[in-house]
Amino acid sequence: DRLVTAAADGEDRAVEAALRPKDLAEFIGQERVREQLSLVLQAARQRGATPDHVLLSGPPGLGKTTLSMIIAAEMNAPIRITSGPAIQHAGDLAAILSSLTEGEVLFLDEIHRMSRPAEEMLYMAMEDFRVDVIVGKGPGATAIPLELPPFTLVGATTRAGLLPPPLRDRFGFTGHMEFYAPAELERVLHRSARLLDLDIDPAGAAEIAGRSRGTPRIANRLLRRVRDYAQVKHDGRITPEIAAQALDVYEVDGRGLDRLDRAVLDVLLRLFGGGPVGLSTLAVAVGEESETVEEVAEPFLVREGLLARTPRGRIATAAAWQHLGLTPPAAPPG
Ligand code: ADP
């Protein structure tokens, strides 16, 4: 339930449908992926063929689901959306695959979390458009081959490196999604504000973009909280002052750090002089589980160059002292 988490919550799901760009031209940023994908789709259209399978890798909230929907829209094809964790048994996957229609796009989110037997069934489906459906159990079981219509699998994963090579190799193209630059997030925010009928200053959008951790989903979520504040406390217009006040209320600071992130830095700086300090000691002092500190707070702090993980423990960088407005202790004489 952190405001700055990149995973989707219930409210996100409810409103995201309205904010998704519908075609490649409307999709902001990710120039390289967009250009590569545009070529793949255009070539397939010219050949009257189904595009190659596409793998999209990158952190949550950067637009992988959106791109899969765009692929379907650009090909004028229907889309089916599911995820690795939802496919526990090979039979679950067989049921989905056997009901696909010609040219359909199958979006498989978190593809690295599929079960092993399902994964093996997918290899054959991707390569030969065929599955073996096992009927019966034990020695009497028989495999009935089933032809599938050509379809395009769009797989999404947080890290392409997590995929077994045989699966990775069956994708014709891998798009690596990057975090968005602030200027790109500003464009996302202006677009969303227009769709939500909000009045936002360019500087107001910049203020929100700077706190959005390079992630459109977070930008859109922060925009909704700022909208509430602007509406309740003012006349609805989003200026930089109002955006900053609103996000201060929600404890998302100017760089996108929330309360937990700041607590980790604060303890590291004030209690341990900037480190090095071990993870478990740091976590106890923050009053959190080690896993929470390591998996929830640290990745962004590391990415922002505020904290470093070293063999001797966690250390704060000069930027961390600066960000919290503290002075590092003077180096010992000599
Ligand atoms: P993912 O599947 O990578 O977790 P989504 O495709 O669900 O991410 O995107 C999350 C939200 O961010 C969506 O509501 C979408 O509208 C918005 N979004 C993502 N990428 C873009 C983009 N390039 N331009 C505009 N909005 C975007």
Q: Report the atom number in ligand 1 closest to the C-alpha of 26.
A: 24
Structure-block tokens of residue 268: 């590291």
CB count within 10 Å of CB 265 equals: 23
Ligand 1: which residues within 6 Å by Cβ?
A: 16, 19-21, 27-30, 60-66, 188, 216-217, 220
Give me the DSSP letters along 269-309. Answer: HHTTTT--B-HHHHHHHHTS-HHIIIIIIHHHHHHTTSEEE
Please provide the average confidence, as pLDDT, over all residues in the chain: 95
Q: Mean per-residue pLDDT for 55-61?
A: 95
Q: Mean per-residue pLDDT for 227-244?
A: 97
If you measure from the C-alpha of residue 220 to the centroid of ligand 1, how many angstroms do you get, rounded to a whole number?
9
Strands 313-316 and 307-310: antiparallel
Residue 210 has pLDDT above 90, yes or no: yes
Out of 52, 80, 130, 158, pick the active-site residue: 158
Residue 11 has pLDDT above 90, yes or no: no
Instruction: Pick the closest to residue 97 from 69, 116, 113, 120 (CA basis).
Output: 120
- Contact between 186 and 66 (Cβ < 8 Å): no
The pLDDT confidence band at residue 12, using thresholds 50, 70 and 90, is confident
Q: Mean per-residue pLDDT for 203-218?
A: 98
Q: Report the atom number in ligand 1 closest to the C-alpha of 60.
A: 4
Q: Mean per-residue pLDDT for 14-32?
A: 93
Angle 178-175-220 (CA atoms, 0-180°, nearest 5)?
45
Testing ligand 1's pocket by substitution, the residue of 5, 12, 13, 20 carrying the most ligand atoms inside 8 A of its CB is: 20
Q: How many CA atoms lie within 13 A of 114 on its CB side?
A: 28
Q: What is the pLDDT of residue 159?
A: 83
The pLDDT confidence band at residue 29, using thresholds 50, 70 and 90, is very high
Q: Give pLDDT tens digits for 283-303.
A: 999 999 999 999 999 999 999
What is the share, in percent, of the chain residues with pLDDT greater than 70? 100
Query: Atom 6 of ligand 1 has which residue's CA nearest to it?
Result: 63
The pLDDT confidence band at residue 143, using thresholds 50, 70 and 90, is confident
ipTM of the complex: 0.99
Q: What is the pLDDT of residue 334?
A: 63
- Contact between 249 and 229 (Cβ < 8 Å): yes
The pLDDT confidence band at residue 277, using thresholds 50, 70 and 90, is very high
The conformation of residue 328, written as its DSSP 8-state character, comes to P
Q: What is the pLDDT of residue 236?
A: 95
**In which element (H, E) is residue 223 found?**
helix 216-233
72: Cβ contacts below 8 Å, ≥ 6 apart: 78, 79, 104, 105
Q: Mean per-residue pLDDT for 26-33?
A: 96
180 is in an annotated binding site: yes
The pLDDT confidence band at residue 312, using thresholds 50, 70 and 90, is very high
Residue 248 has pLDDT above 90, yes or no: yes
Instruction: Pick the closest to residue 24 from 4, 47, 45, 8 (CA basis).
Output: 45
Q: Mean per-residue pLDDT for 155-183?
A: 93
Q: Mean per-residue pLDDT for 134-154?
A: 91
Residue 258 has pLDDT above 90, yes or no: yes
The pLDDT confidence band at residue 160, using thresholds 50, 70 and 90, is confident
